[in-house]
Chains A and B, each alone.
Chain A
Amino acid sequence: MGGISSEAFVLGAEVIGAGIAMIAGIGQGIGQGFCGGKAVEAIGRQPEAGGTITRTMIVGDAIAETTGIYSFVFAMLCMFLHPFANALTNR
């Protein structure tokens, strides 16, 4: 390891880890898109139930969003709080 300190290595690894964690956004995107598409289909078939369908869709969207939010919170933790780099220095 010429020239790279272990702190710098752990910091870099943390930021890469934050990036990898955000890959969970793919699942969220697919889920929300599917949810929205189905809601549009349902409204097209039954326009008078539009209000109920939209309300249900928003709740479904939020539930699909959960995993994405978990990964986002974890990524932000890695980016700004540096739990592993701090553990290394306080060792």
Chain B
Amino acid sequence: MDLLNKNPLFLSSLEINGPLVVAEFELFGITLRLTESVTVQWVIMLILGTLFFILGRNLKVKPEGKRQAFAEMVVTFFTGTVKDTMGGGYRRYSPYIGTLFCFSLFLSLSGLMGFRPPTSDISVILAWGVITFILVQRNRFKTGRLWGGLKSYTDPIPVMLPMNIVGELANPLSQSFRHYGNILGGLIIGSIVYWALGNFALVVPAVLSIYFDIFGAVVHAFIFSTLTMVYVAGADCGE
């Protein structure tokens, strides 16, 4: 558009784009784009995998080094949180919750290394939201069997059925938009401040980065996993 390119105020020198496309290839007639979000996720997966492999290797009954103490601290934290939030019967969810938290945290923190954080890409977060949705439905039909699961949609009165269905579908959307919007918002505000200060960008971007990149990353990783726990445990329709 001609007018957009000529706009002298902000549009010509400040560009907000989607994630960088690293490679493009065709598969069965569909163009697949390999974006920066996916490649950064691979790197983080590799880092986390190596880290936890090293942490979990040759464990002793009596902890000797700091390595095992740290590993036990991490595991105890996640089992404790899952037990406090979801109740004792849901202990088997703690590996998933822990993975979700660490993965989300590391992905958001990768913004500090100069990457575009993959958590600012809606496709990445929406996939996690869909996983939460599947877990919720699974738990609903597992605890209540078929009839109890179907009946729980009509809580408390059958008139609420459409509202319950809309609410159920809105949960993954609101959960993922919250995380994505926060990280993307931090990214955009950061780039606007960098652009506005120009050559004098000294202290202000650092303060903003501490808030948006570090505090925001921890808080939103925590909130996403907490909401996953709350939704899954809330779908329990057994006694």
Q: Which of B88-96, B124-132, B159-167, B182-190 contacts A (4 or more CB under 8 A)?
A: B182-190
The 0/1 profile, CB within 8 Å of B marked 1, for residues 45-84 of chain A is 0000000000000110011011001101100100011100
A7 close to B (CB within 8 Å): yes
CB neighbours (8 Å) of B174 from chain A are 66
> CA of A80 to CA of B15 in the docked complex: distance in angstroms?
8
Which residues of B come within 8 Å of A, CB atoms?
1-4, 7, 11, 16, 174, 177-178, 181-182, 184-185, 188, 219-220, 222-223, 226-227
What is the interface of chain A mostly: helix, strand, loop, or mixed? helix
- Give the number of residues in A that approach B within 8 Å (Cβ atoms): 21
CB neighbours (8 Å) of B11 from chain A are 80
Of A7, A58, A72, the residue contacting B222 (CB under 8 A) is A58
Q: Is the CB of B1 within 8 A of A86?
A: yes
Q: Is the CB of A76 within 8 A of B185?
A: yes
Q: Is the CB of A7 within 8 A of B227?
A: no
Q: Is the CB of A72 within 8 A of B185?
A: yes
Can you show 23 pairs from A to B with CB atoms below 8 A apart? A5-B3, A8-B3, A11-B4, A11-B7, A59-B222, A62-B178, A62-B219, A66-B174, A66-B177, A66-B178, A69-B178, A70-B177, A72-B181, A72-B185, A73-B177, A73-B184, A76-B16, A76-B184, A76-B188, A80-B188, A81-B16, A85-B3, A86-B1
Q: Is the CB of A69 within 8 A of B1?
A: no
Q: Which residue of the partner chain B has the closest CB to A11?
A: B3
Q: Is the CB of B4 within 8 A of A82?
A: yes
Q: Is the CB of B1 within 8 A of A7?
A: yes
CB neighbours (8 Å) of B223 from chain A are 58-59, 62
Q: Is the CB of B3 within 8 A of A69?
A: no
Q: Is the CB of A69 within 8 A of B226?
A: no
In the assembled complex, the CB of A29 is this many whole angstroms from the nearest CB of chain B, namely 15
> CA of A58 to CA of B184 in the docked complex: distance in angstroms?
19
Q: Which residue of the partner chain A has the closest CB to B9?
A: A15
> CA of A58 to CA of B225 in the docked complex: distance in angstroms?
13
Q: Which residue of the partner chain B has the closest CB to A81?
A: B16
CB neighbours (8 Å) of A72 from chain B are 181, 185
> CA of A73 to CA of B220 in the docked complex: distance in angstroms?
16
CB neighbours (8 Å) of B226 from chain A are 59
Q: Which residue of the partner chain A has the closest CB to B178?
A: A66
